[in-house]
Structure 1
Amino acid sequence: MFAARQIASRVFQQSVRRYHAGDFKAPTMEELPVPRGSWQAQHDARQRKHNAVLLAGIAFTAGTIVLAKASGLVYLNYSPPASLD
C-alpha cells in the first residue's frame, strides 16, 4: 500500500513539474484583443436584451399569480377573514 502511494505521488509530482514545457512564452500585451465598434451601440443592444428578459420574467410571474388565484389554489389574504372560524 505504501509503495503504491509513493509511486502515485511521484507520477503526479512529475506531471505538475512538466506543466510548462521548455517552450513556454509569457503572455504579452500584444496578445490582448483590440476593441472594435461603438461601445454605446453594443451597450444599447445588451440593455434591450436584458430589458426584454426582465419584462418576460415580470409577465410570467404576474401570469402565474393570476392563474393560481383564479384556480383557487392560493388565498392571498388581502384582508382579515370575516370570522375566526
Structure 2
Amino acid sequence: MIGALLLGFVAGVVARMLMPGDAFRHMSGPMSWLVSLVIGLVGALVGYLLFTVLLGIGDTDIFDWGGILGAIIGTLIVLPITGWFLRRRQNFPPTR
C-alpha cells in the first residue's frame, strides 16, 4: 500500500515537471502534493492498462516500482485530459 502511494506520488511529480503549464500549476503545498498523488495513481493505472493489458509488455503487478516508466507515461496521458475537463468546467484559469 505504501509502495503504491509512493509510486503514484513520484509518477505524479515527475509528470507534472515534464508537462509545463498543467492545470494544477497554481497550487502549492499539501494540496499540490495530493493532486500529484492522485494523478500519479490514476496514471499508474492507465500505464498498467496500456502496457500490460493492451500491449502485453511488463509484469502483472499493477503498482510495482518496475512499472515506474509506464506510470509516468500514463500520468502524462491523464494530466492533459484532466486539465481539459477542469477548464471546461471553468473552475481553473486557462493556460498561457
Q: Which has the larger radius of gyration?
A: 1
- Larger RCO (CA under 8 A, 6+ residues apart): 2
Q: TM-score, normalised by structure 1?
A: 0.30
